[in-house]
Amino acid sequence: MFRRAAFMASAAAVIGVAASAYADEPKRGGQLSAIINPEPPILMLGLNQQGPTQAVAGKIYQSLLTYDFDLNPMPSLAREWEVADDGLTYTFHLQEGVTWHDGEAFTAADAVFSLDEFLPETHPRWRQLYRNVASIDAPDDHTLVIELEEPFPAFIMAFETASAPMIPKHLYEGTDYRDNEWNQTPIGTGPFKFEEWNRGSSIHLVRNDDYWKDGKPYLDEIYFEVIPDAASRVTALETQRVHMSRGEDIEFFDVPRVAQLDHLEVTTQGWEMFAPHAWLEFNVREEPISDKRFRQAVMHAIDREFILNNIFFGSGNVATGPISSSTLFYDDNVPEYEYDPDRARELLDEMGLEPDGNGVRTELRLLPIPYGEAWDRLGEYVRQQLIEVGIQTDLEAADAGTWAERVANWDYDMTFNYLYQYGDPAIGVSRSYISDNIQRGTLFTNTMGYENEEVDRLFEEAAREIDPERRQELYTEVQQILVEEVPVGWLIELEFPTIYDVRFENLVTTAIGTNETYDDVYIAE
């Protein structure tokens, strides 16, 4: 790592930045102002796991563990843990003296409620992990024991805040979780408490004076500023109105210029747990999308190298399939989809989709994800490319909440999305393709409606397999099948920059980056 990020031709060269030269002993006080874009629909992390929700709610809620840059587990609400030799028993020893923001004690009973009752009902990723859980018990107030039905080597990766947030039992037990009044004023154990949300303007968090780590947090308050306009977000960073941006807050074409400003640092560290994977998602229930030849044709009609270099300005790599090249069990021995509009037309001809007098073979709806100008431009580009082969697409705009609701309820033909991989395919990849995770009304499940018994079997066997070499064989096979059948059109393995004021220390210290608690963040003068 080094202090000033070096950019070659594009933002692809953004790399980790060393600790600021302003480093000093931590000091108490001060305010952090951070951009949040788009505005999250809700801050209750057990009900919504969209990126903006994670970034804000990660300061309010906590889980049992966090993870270093190499994805090794580290303490959070669990101070110690053991995994039995047979891989079936996980024992967590919880921190003592932890309280919820309303003053009630956090105990192992809250952890049992969160993992055994709340999250299996509301959380698509935890629901899949929970299928292998035999029991969850609390032998005492500070011990949690989880027994698995079968070995599941990825399980230790499942306890970062967004994957398994702890939920206050005393506020949620026996209620309608989705209609609970506390969803609007979230209560967690984290270093910052919810203070106020001015919709369309800002979210205000304040210091938790009763936080369980002595002397922390150092900051007095955090403001998350809602700034819908991209140019205004850049200006806010340049003028120090805000101190930090994350992910796609700053448009990719602006990152190289902003990185040269003396008061700012840039790093792409802090995304190791997530490895965001962007794709064009197909609703495979609908004709002609239900025919894999149509989906293959779409892949050949789109120039993904152009997308990487001219829309995302080199910030990542072209994706070859469902597993990112930066994570475990990747294999590039899969079918390739070169940019080849003629091949796309041949496939459409094979299907009997003949063009009409205007050259149109079929008409579909395309719902871009509302996460910034890059995605808007991507929508326009894909629309233009598809009409070249006779596929007319109508772009449909939606805000973040509406987009999430429509995708969750399968009200789209095609959409853009990007999902986090969460360190292991058994956690972050399989959820999108296995048939028993087709859950209407829940985002980040198998919203495409894709079903393949062999894919189900391979993901199931790979998740239970202890031998890494055998796991690789199984994941290689499933990658080959999925890339042949194209339930989604994989586009880019994204690399996101975090841009921040040099005066702030410890903004990115773990593999979950800006989703961390920020109890260690301080201002060095």
Domain CATH for 25: 3.40.190.10
* CATH code for position 348: 3.10.105.10
Amino acid at 75: P
pLDDT of residue 6: 30
Q: Give 149-172 pLDDT, tens digit per residue.
A: 999 999 999 999 999 999 999 999
pLDDT of residue 2: 25
The reply to whether 307 and 449 lie within a common domain is yes
Number of Cα atoms under 13 Å in the Cβ half of residue 131: 15
* Number of residues that make up the chain: 525
The reply to whether 242 and 156 lie within a common domain is no
Q: Give 282-300 pLDDT, tens digit per residue.
A: 999 999 999 999 999 999 9
The reply to whether 78 and 16 lie within a common domain is no
The reply to whether 284 and 375 lie within a common domain is yes
Angstrom distances, CA of residue 253 to CA of 106, 416, 497: 45, 20, 12
> What is this structure's pTM?
0.82
Angstrom distances, CA of residue 245 to CA of 321, 461, 511: 29, 40, 17
Structure tokens at 133: 């859980």
The reply to whether 342 and 200 lie within a common domain is no
The number of domains in the chain is: 3
The reply to whether 283 and 324 lie within a common domain is yes
Q: Which residue has the tokens 């064009």?
A: 280
Residues 6+ apart with CB under 8 A from 271: 495, 496, 511, 513
Residue 34 belongs to some domain of the structure = yes
The reply to whether 289 and 417 lie within a common domain is yes
Residues of the chain with pLDDT under 50: 1-23
pLDDT of residue 387: 98
Q: Which residue has the tokens 């963040």?
A: 521
Residues 6+ apart with CB under 8 A from 397: 368, 370
The reply to whether 345 and 314 lie within a common domain is yes
Residue 2 belongs to some domain of the structure = no
Residue 337 belongs to some domain of the structure = yes
In angstroms and rounded to an integer, the radius of gyration of the C-alpha atoms of the chain is 23
- Asked if 242 and 504 touch (Cβ cutoff 8 Å), the reply is no
Q: Is 171 exposed, middle or buried (0-12, 13-18, 19+ CB in 10 A)?
A: middle
Q: Among candidates 271, 234, 280, which has minimal Cα distance to 421? A: 271
Between CA 286 and CA 469 the distance in angstroms is: 38
Structure tokens at 389: 């082969």
Look up the domain containing 399 and give its range: 277-494
Structure tokens at 135: 């029991």
The reply to whether 301 and 241 lie within a common domain is no
The reply to whether 421 and 380 lie within a common domain is yes
The reply to whether 368 and 429 lie within a common domain is yes
Between CA 261 and CA 243 the distance in angstroms is: 13
Helices (H) and strands (E) in the chain, counts: 15, 21
pLDDT of residue 493: 96
- Element holding 454 (H helix, E strand): helix 453-464
65 sits in the region (left: phi over 0; alpha: psi -120 to 50; else beta) called beta
Task: Select from 172, 202, 218 the last residue of a domain.
Answer: 172
Tell me the longest C-alpha to C-alpha distance in the chain: 74
| Residue 321 DSSP SS3 | coil
pLDDT of residue 24: 65
pLDDT of residue 21: 40
